[in-house]
C-alpha cells in the first residue's frame, strides 16, 4: 500500500475503485479550411448557442453556488466578442474547430494574465471551448465517465459543469492533480459535501480499477488497499457522518468557548439556505453581483433594496458586508478598466474606490439606509486595505455616512504587520485567507504550477494570522476569518488557537466545522496552533496542527 498527499476538502472519507476522466479533445489540425465560410460561421455560432443553453439549463438544475458558476460559463459561450473573433478566424482560413480553439485560447491567456477574479475564469473558458468543439464534431463532450458501480473520480481537474451535477450515489470522492483550496473543484466539492483531495502529486499514476481510500481529513489517498483498510475507513466514515449530522448548535469549543459560525454569501437569495444549515449570521456578503453585469453603477435606491432584503433575513444577527471588491482584476467600465501590466498588484479594491469616491459613497449610503430600516447588526468592511492610513480613510467615511460598525479586510501582508495601528481605528478585521495566502507566497491561486504554494497552512500565513489575532486581543476587538481556510475543519481549530474570534464559510461546510470545534478545548486549540507555527512547510504544519 502506498500513500499520496494533497489538500483535503472537508472531513469526509470514502473508499472505492478509481475511474479516470477521459482525456480532453485533441488540438485541432491547422489544415486550411476550404469549405463554405458563411455556413461554417453560422454552424459555429449555433454550436456556441447550444452550449450556452445547455450550461444555463444545467445551472438551473444544480442551483446554489454551482448555478452562478455555470451561468458565468454560459455567458462566455454566448460572448459576442468571442463569436466575432471565431468568425474572423474562419474567414481567414481556419476550420471551425481550429477557430474556436484559437479564439478561446487567446482569451484564456488574456484572463490568466489578468490574475485574480478574471484569472479564475480561465479554466472555465477552456471547458467551454471543449464543449463547443465537441458540439461541432458531433461527439460527446469530455466529462464524467459512466459506471454501474460506485467509484472514486480522478482527473487533472474538474470543470464546474462536470462537478455541479455529479451523481453522488456513484461518485464517492474526487481526486485531482491540479487545483488548490480555492479552485472550483474544491469550492463546489465543499458545497456538495463530497470528500475531495486536490493538488495531488502522483494522481496521474492512478489507473482505472485501483482500490483507494480517500481521507479528506488527513489529506491522503491510500492506494492499493486491502479489505481490512477499507473496512476501517468505512467505520471512520460513519463516525464522521454521525458528527456532521448532529443537531445544529451555535459554534463553540468543547469547553464552551464561543466561536460564532457565519456564512459567506453572494446574493440575498442564498440567505434562507444558510440559515437552514445553522449560519449564525453572515461573515462575508459579496456585493459584486450588483455591479459586474451593469454598464453603469447601480443607484443608491437599487442597492438599498438588495441590502434591505439581505438584512431582513437575519433579524438581530450580525451581517458583514464587503464594499465593492473590483478594479483591475474585475474591470468595470464605470470604475477602472485601464490596462495594467500586473493587475493583481494594481488599482483594485479600496484603491479603485478611492479614485471614484462617488461610487463608494453611494454604496455606503445605501447600506446605512438599509441598516436604519432593519434590526440586523450591520458591519461593513473595505477590501484590499494596505495600512492604517487607508483604514482611517474608510472608517471616517463610513462613520460620516452613518454606519455604526466599520472595519477592514486583511488580505495583504502589510496590513497584518501594522495590525496594532489598524485596530486603533477599525472596529474589526476580517481575514481573507485566499488573497492573504496568494500575496504572502507570491503564488497565483489559480495557477497549477504553483498550487503547492497556495496553501493557507503555510507557517508564514499562520504567523501573519497570529499577529492579527494578537493585535485584536490587545485592542479588545474581533478578528474573523472569511476565506476558504475557515471551511477546513482542522484549520478552523488552529485559527481559533491563533486568536480568531469568528469563522465564516460556505454554508455547506458549517456542519463539519461545528463538529470539529466541539472536539477541542481552547487550550488544546492553542496547543495545536503553536505546533503548526513551528512547521517548516504547509504539509508539516498541517500534520503538526492536526495531531
For the residues of 95-156, what is the DSSP string, one character each?
-HHHHHHHHHHHHHHHHHHH-HHHHHTHHHHHHHHHHHHHHHHTSPPS-PPP-SS-EEEEES
Establish whether 458 is a catalytic residue.
no
If one counts every other C-beta atom within 10 angstroms of the C-beta of residue 234, the result is: 14
Burial class (CB in 10 A: 0-12, 13-18, 19+), 26: exposed
Q: Kindly list the structural domains of the chain, giving each domain's residue range(s) and its CATH number in brackets, ordered by start.
A: 2-22+143-242 (3.50.30.10), 37-137 (1.10.274.10), 261-545 (3.20.20.60)
Whether the per-residue pLDDT at 333 is higher than 80: the answer is: no
Q: Across-strand partners of 18?
A: 152
pLDDT in tens, 60-103: 887 776 787 788 888 888 889 899 999 999 999 999 999 999 99
pLDDT band at residue 162, thresholds of 50, 70 and 90?
A: confident
pTM: 0.75
pLDDT band at residue 39, thresholds of 50, 70 and 90?
A: very high
Coil, strand or helix at 277: coil
In the prediction, which pLDDT does 329 show?
54
pLDDT band at residue 210, thresholds of 50, 70 and 90?
A: very high
Residues 6+ apart with CB under 8 A from 493: 516, 517, 519, 520, 525, 528, 545
In the prediction, which pLDDT does 40 show?
95
pLDDT band at residue 448, thresholds of 50, 70 and 90?
A: low
In the prediction, which pLDDT does 479 show?
98
pLDDT in tens, 451-477: 678 889 999 999 999 999 999 999 999
Among 136, 129, 128, 144, smallest CA distance to 55 is for 128
In the prediction, which pLDDT does 118 show?
61
Whether the per-residue pLDDT at 109 is higher than 70: the answer is: yes
pLDDT band at residue 410, thresholds of 50, 70 and 90?
A: very high
pLDDT in tens, 263-315: 999 999 999 999 999 999 999 999 988 887 677 889 999 999 999 999 999 99
Among 352, 350, 467, 359, smallest CA distance to 420 is for 467
In the prediction, which pLDDT does 343 show?
72
Q: Annotate 281-311 with DSSP letters as a single string.
A: EEEEEE-GGGTTT-SSPPPHHHHHHHHHHHH
Establish whether 339 is a catalytic residue.
no
Residue of 222, 257, 458, 482 with catalytic role:
482
In the prediction, which pLDDT does 475 show?
98
Whether the per-residue pLDDT at 125 is higher than 90: the answer is: no
Whether the per-residue pLDDT at 45 is higher than 90: the answer is: yes
Residue of 156, 184, 257, 339 with catalytic role:
184
Max mean pLDDT among 185-199, 224-238, 342-356, 471-485 falls in 471-485
Amino acid at each position: 500500500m502506498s500513500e499520496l498527499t494533497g489538500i483535503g476538502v472537508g472531513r469526509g472519507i470514502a473508499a472505492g475503485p478509481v475511474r479516470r476522466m477521459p482525456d480532453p479533445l485533441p488540438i485541432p489540425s491547422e489544415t486550411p479550411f476550404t469549405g463554405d465560410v458563411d455556413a461554417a460561421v453560422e454552424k459555429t455560432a449555433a454550436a456556441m448557442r447550444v452550449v450556452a443553453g445547455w450550461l444555463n439549463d444545467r445551472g438551473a438544475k444544480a442551483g446554489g453556488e454551482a448555478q452562478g458558476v455555470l451561468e458565468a460559463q454560459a455567458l462566455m459561450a454566448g460572448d459576442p466578442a468571442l463569436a466575432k473573433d471565431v468568425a474572423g478566424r474562419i474567414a481567414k482560413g481556419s476550420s471551425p474547430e481550429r477557430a474556436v480553439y484559437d479564439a478561446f485560447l487567446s482569451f484564456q491567456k488574456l484572463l490568466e494574465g489578468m490574475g485574480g477574479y478574471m484569472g479564475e475564469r480561465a479554466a472555465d473558458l477552456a471547458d467551454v471551448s471543449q464543449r463547443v468543439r465537441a458540439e461541432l464534431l458531433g461527439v460527446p463532450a469530455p466529462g464524467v465517465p459512466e459506471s454501474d458501480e460506485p467509484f472514486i473520480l480522478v482527473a487533472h481537474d474538474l470543470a464546474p459543469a462536470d462537478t455541479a451535477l455529479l451523481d453522488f450515489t456513484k461518485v464517492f470522492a474526487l481526486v485531482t492533480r491540479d487545483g488548490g483550496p480555492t479552485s472550483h473543484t474544491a469550492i463546489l466539492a465543499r458545497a456538495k459535501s463530497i470528500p475531495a483531495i486536490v493538488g495531488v502529486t502522483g494522481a496521474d499514476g492512478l489507473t482505472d480499477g485501483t482500490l483507494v481510500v480517500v481521507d479528506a481529513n488527513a489529506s491522503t489517498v491510500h492506494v492499493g488497499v486491502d479489505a481490512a483498510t477499507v473496512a476501517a475507513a468505512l467505520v471512520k466514515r460513519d463516525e464522521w457522518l454521525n458528527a456532521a449530522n448532529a443537531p445544529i448548535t451555535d459554534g463553540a469549543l468543547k469547553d464552551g468557548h464561543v466561536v460564532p459560525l457565519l456564512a459567506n454569501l453572494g446574493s440575498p437569495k442564498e440567505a434562507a439556505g444558510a440559515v437552514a444549515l445553522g449560519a449564525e449570521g453572515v461573515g462575508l456578503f459579496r456585493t459584486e453581483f450588483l455591479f459586474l453585469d451593469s454598464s453603469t453603477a447601480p443607484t443608491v435606491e437599487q442597492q438599498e433594496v438588495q441590502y434591505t432584503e439581505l438584512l431582513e433575513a437575519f433579524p438581530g444577527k450580525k451581517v458583514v458586508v464587503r464594499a465593492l471588491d473590483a478594479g483591475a482584476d474585475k474591470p468595470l467600465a464605470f470604475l477602472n478598466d485601464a490596462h495594467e501590466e500586473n493587475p493583481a498588484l494594481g488599482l483594485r479594491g479600496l484603491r479603485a474606490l478611492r479614485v471614484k469616491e462617488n461610487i463608494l459613497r453611494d454604496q455606503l449610503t445605501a447600506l446605512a439606509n438599509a441598516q436604519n430600516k432593519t434590526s440586523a447588526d450591520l458591519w461593513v468592511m473595505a477590501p484590499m486595505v494596505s495600512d492604517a492610513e487607508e483604514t482611517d480613510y474608510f472608517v471616517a467615511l463610513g462613520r460620516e455616512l452613518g454606519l455604526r460598525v466599520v472595519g477592514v479586510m486583511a488580505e495583504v501582508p502589510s496590513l497584518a504587520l501594522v495590525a496594532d495601528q489598524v485596530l486603533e481605528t477599525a472596529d474589526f478585521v476580517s481575514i481573507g485567507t485566499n488573497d492573504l495566502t496568494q500575496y504572502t507566497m507570491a503564488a497565483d491561486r489559480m495557477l497549477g504550477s504553483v498550487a503547492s504554494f497556495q496553501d493557507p497552512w503555510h507557517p508564514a500565513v499562520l504567523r501573519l494570522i497570529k499577529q492579527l489575532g494578537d493585535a485584536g486581543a490587545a485592542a479588545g476587538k474581533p478578528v474573523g476569518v472569511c476565506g476558504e481556510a475557515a471551511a477546513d475543519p482542522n484549520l478552523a481549530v488552529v485559527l481559533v488557537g491563533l486568536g480568531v474570534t469568528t469563522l465564516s464559510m460556505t454554508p455547506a461546510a458549517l456542519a463539519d466545522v461545528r463538529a470539529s470545534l466541539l472536539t477541542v478545548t481552547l487550550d488544546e486549540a492553542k496547543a495545536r496552533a503553536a505546533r503548526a507555527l513551528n512547521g517548516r512547510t504547509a504539509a508539516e504544519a498541517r500534520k503538526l496542527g492536526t495531531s
